[in-house]
Structure 1
Amino acid sequence: MKKNKIVVIGSINMDLVMRVPYIPNIGETIMGKSVERIPGGKGANQAFTAAKLGANVSMLGKIGGDEFGARLIESMQNAGVDTSCIDLEADASSGLAIIQVNDEGDNSIVVLSGANELCNKSYIIAHENVIGEAGIVIVQMEVPNEAVYQAIELASKSDAIMILNPAPAPDYIPDHVLEKIDYLVPNETELQKLTGMPVHSIETAGTASRTLLSKGLKNMIVTLGSKGSLLVNSDGIVHFPAPNVQAIDTTAAGDSFVAAFAVGLSEGKSDKDAIAFATKVAAIVVTRAGAQTSIPDRREVDAAT
């Protein structure tokens, strides 16, 4: 059924994850502890998470003709993602993310786009039928803006619920695009960049969110790390605290939250109940290392207190 189908459009990367005692300063050399290659990319992580949580998921994106491409596809397929519409760009490299994770579980990430940069407007238009089958469409911003905005336009035409995770955040999102988004889900840093306003607390996050609502955005969900998240809309502001857990690696926390929120909506949950479900999933993810390797399945989530 269309209502339950989730389509994720976005990046597919191999994550090169380096464990370090702390994030080095400019010009500083430190010794790392370990390195792993883990399938990732915001789009792939979100599709992977949604599928592991039991959703019907299709992924749109591109991989390169290098050694990573097949492994990236295999990882998503193993989770249950329909990868049949992912394009192979034989002459390009697959996306690569270089991630440093410190002893507190915080990270610093550099992304090399590779084939993701070729995920353009024409590719999105060529898969309009896939988007038209979706009840929910999720996009992020590790593919070109023209593809993101085209996907939002097509989702709007088909009456799908449109979720934009503006990561990495652009300097602004045009008003005519904001009006077509049902849920914008930035973190504090992304919200600050989008609005040009300081975001360092629950109160300032709410204030900054209202500036985007005034431009036609329907709902804002701001993820605040250990402080939880906010739902901001015309009804007001609701704060969802995060459970107290020992974070090991926050790499896929935001991606898992967005995907789990979409899964909740696809199952008929209210947005508040879907946020509570997403909070539960993200709290598990941060206690584990890696991106897709940290994602729980539905039984684990349902069994968690």
Structure 2
Amino acid sequence: MIECVIFGGLLLDKYLELEELPERGQDGFINNEFECVGGCSVNMAATFNNLGGQAHIVSYIGKDKIGQSIIKYMNEHQLSTRYVMQKEGTTGYCIVLLEADGERTFLTKTGMELDFSKEILSDGLKDIKYAAVTGYFLLNDEVEEIMQVLEDFHKRGGFILFDPSPLVGSINQDILMRMVYISNVVTPNSSEFEEIKEWVDDEKIVILKRGGHGGTVYEKNCTFDYMPIKVNVIDTTGAGDSFAAGVLFGLAEGRSLQDSVRLGSQTSAITVGINGPHGFWNIEDILKK
């Protein structure tokens, strides 16, 4: 079984479904509300597992009610808790304002997910060769310790995919430079790419995402475009996470870069067609597309 480790925090997503966001200072109505376990890490992990792999999330969570519900959810869905640790404190949550056309706006109250210590990696990532890192996790107060772990992983020959995230501009510049340097693949959108482009060299695989317009892949001596798979969009939350996990799994499985990007497009298409940031399906769903 292909394994990977995902550096990204766990929290609770609190969805508010709206027809559309009201203008600032104006009123609106909530059509529906629901909650689910969220965070880029669990979205990636669910997709990686759906494809037949085993993803291990690295995250602290609190011993509060939300933290307990996250552990229960992960156990119910066979999501690994090898590198998930509870301790005293509050688990974070994210309010997701979901509009009828699938667009979403996030407001996050951070908690234990933005904490880290090497003790959480009980076996030192033994026998794991692939990693995904979310930009959000590099806003951690213990980011230097995180980077030491990742740089050691890189020196041992580990393969790293880095997904910068919309808050990439808030990451310390030295940390960001080091992160890009050790990454094999980076998956920014157009605005995120502007924050990292000065450190990208020809040795990096860059997958420049353009949402509903597909994107462009840059590899040494090779550039190609990819198109999205057209589906009925219900909720775009987690689409980028699912794409990244699909690409990482494909490359870990030994597929070509083109086939891995195609797989990422397929997993992303499944994700935007369901309500919530991730779902549970199997490889047969991919083969039908």
2:136 corresponds to: 142
1:278 corresponds to: 264
1:229 corresponds to: 215
The amino acid that maps onto 1:142 is Y
2:121 corresponds to: 127
The amino acid that maps onto 1:299 is E
SS of 1:131's partner is coil
1:170 corresponds to: 168
- Cα distance in 1 for partners of 2:225, 2:259 equals 12
Q: Is 1:300 matched with 2:289?
A: no
SS of 1:94's partner is coil
Q: Flag the 1:273–1:124 CA change in 2: closer, same or farther, 3 A.
A: farther
Q: Flag the 1:111–1:231 CA change in 2: closer, same or farther, 3 A.
A: same
TM-score by length of 2: 0.89
Q: Which runs of 4+ in 1 moved over 4 A?
A: none
- Cα distance in 2 for partners of 1:40, 1:236 equals 35
2:98 corresponds to: 101
The amino acid that maps onto 2:131 is V
5 Å-filtered alignment, 1:66-77, equals 66-77=64-75
CA shift, 1:295, in A, is: 4.5
CA shift, 1:125, in A, is: 6.2
CA shift, 1:110, in A, is: 1.3
- Cα distance in 2 for partners of 1:53, 1:39 equals 20
Q: Is 1:84 matched with 2:78?
A: no
Q: Flag the 1:76–1:189 CA change in 2: closer, same or farther, 3 A.
A: farther
1:200 corresponds to: none
Q: CA RMSD in A?
A: 2.1
CA shift, 1:128, in A, is: 7.2
Q: What do residues 194-228 of structure 1 show as CA deviations (whole Å, max 9, x unaligned)?
A: 15xxxxxxxxxxxxx5x4424x7611112211111
Any stretches of 5+ residues in structure 2 without a counterpart? none
Q: Is 1:257 matched with 2:259?
A: no
Among candidates 51, 55, 58, match of residue 56 of structure 2: 58
Any stretches of 5+ residues in structure 1 without a counterpart? 196-208
CA shift, 1:157, in A, is: 2.0
Aligned residues: 281
1:128–1:154 contact (8 Å) kept in structure 2: no
TM-score by length of 1: 0.84
Q: Flag the 1:115–1:228 CA change in 2: closer, same or farther, 3 A.
A: same
Q: What do residues 74-133 of structure 1 show as CA deviations (whole Å, max 9, x unaligned)?
A: 33333332203211022x211201101111101101122201122x2xx23652744342
Q: Percent identical across equivalent pairs?
A: 21
